[in-house]
């Protein structure tokens, strides 16, 4: 099923971007790949554009001609505010302004679980729970969620904000048993977000069907996302290879894990 004629993927040189470069190809006629960093040359059905999200002119050229955007670009870890501001705050503004100018009507925004990182691991929250960012990175993603809502209310650009948990080949620690999102489920989530008839402005947790979770993801039903993978198959391996967390450690108390005490 084609979800776009020309699909823009930002952050294509990153870890998830490299995975999605291959897995998204069957779902569009052309995939345009963009990043500030250098990328491999374009293959069949690809376009490669190097662009700095903080540069409005470069972002405008990056978006022109595309009919849907998956925005994975920007800084994905805690960092000094000045760097976060350029890539994640000014960058997402430039992206939505370019989308408005070029008539793009649907954006998938890679938000983060760090928007709500200061909720405790003993709590279960919904997408309607108030944001509680755990750092500058989480703050920037909360800003992106608000900005995308404004562009929907004002200009009708639909956005699915994906609060991605931990998307790796397998969970790396005990916290990730709760936040794990497989690569296949990430693809299912993106395809559902792009193909649903109407999404308005939606916030959805990017997580697989894990047996223990802190997030009520019932709000994902309207786009048809049904995760098929689970962290359960990794549970014994993770427990055998990791130490029991210190219950007094903030990283074991709060959902954001080590981000709640990161020093930018």
CATH number for the domain harbouring residue 44: 3.40.50.720
171: alpha, beta or left, given left = phi > 0 and alpha = psi -120 to 50? beta
Mean per-residue pLDDT over the chain, rounded: 97
Give 92-151 pLDDT, tens digit per residue. 999 999 999 999 999 999 999 999 999 999 999 999 999 999 999 999 999 999 999 999
pLDDT at 263 over 90: no
- Using CA atoms, how far apart are residues 79 and 211, in angstroms rounded to an integer? 32
Q: What pLDDT score was predicted for residue 127?
A: 94
- The CA–CA distances, whole Å, from 14 to 24, 107, 132, 159 equal 15, 19, 26, 22
Identify the active-site residue in 119, 136, 137, 151: 137
Report the pLDDT value the prediction gives residue 46, as an integer from 0 to 100.
97
Looking at the structure of the chain, the number of domains it has is: 1
Catalytic residue check, 155: no
- Domain boundaries, position 247: 4-261
Q: Indicate the DSSP class of residue 172.
A: -
pLDDT at 219 over 90: no
The side-by-side arrangement of strands in the sheet containing 4-10 is 46-50, 28-35, 4-10, 68-71, 106-112, 158-164, 201-206
The stretch 52-56 carries a mean pLDDT of 98
pLDDT band at 235 (very low <50, low <70, confident <90, very high): very high
Mean pLDDT (whole number) for 225-233: 97
pLDDT confidence bin for 185, thresholds 50/70/90 = very high
Task: Please compute the mean of the pLDDT values over residues 22-28 and round it to a whole number.
Answer: 96
């Amino acid at each position: 099923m084609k979800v776009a004629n020309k699909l823009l993927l930002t952050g294509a040189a990153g870890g998830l971007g490299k995975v999605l470069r291959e897995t998204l190809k069957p779902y569009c006629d052309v995939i345009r790949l963009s990043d500030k960093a250098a990328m491999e040359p374009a293959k069949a059905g690809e376009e490669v554009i190097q662009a700095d999200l903080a540069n409005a002119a470069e972002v405008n050229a990056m978006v022109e001609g595309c009919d849907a955007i998956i925005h994975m670009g920007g800084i994905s870890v805690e960092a000094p505010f000045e760097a976060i501001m350029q890539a994640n705050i000014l960058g997402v503004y430039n992206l939505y302004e370019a989308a408005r100018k070029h008539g793009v009507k649907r954006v998938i925004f890679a938000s983060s679980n760090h928007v709500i990182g200061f909720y405790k691991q003993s709590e279960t929250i919904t997408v309607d729970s108030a944001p509680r960012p755990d750092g500058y990175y989480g703050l920037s993603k909360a800003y992106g969620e608000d900005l995308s809502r404004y562009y929907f209310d004002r200009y009708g650009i639909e956005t699915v904000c994906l609060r991605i948990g931990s998307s790796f080949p397998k969970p790396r620690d005990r916290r990730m048993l709760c936040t794990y999102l497989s690569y296949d489920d990430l693809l299912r989530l993106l395809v559902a977000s792009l193909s649903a008839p109407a999404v308005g402005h939606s916030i959805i947790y990017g997580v697989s069907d894990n047996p223990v979770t802190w997030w009520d993801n019932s709000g994902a039903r309207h786009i048809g996302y049904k995760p098929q993978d689970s962290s359960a198959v990794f549970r014994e391996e993770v427990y055998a290879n990791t130490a029991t967390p210190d219950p007094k450690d903030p990283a074991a108390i709060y959902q954001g894990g080590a981000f709640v005490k990161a020093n930018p």
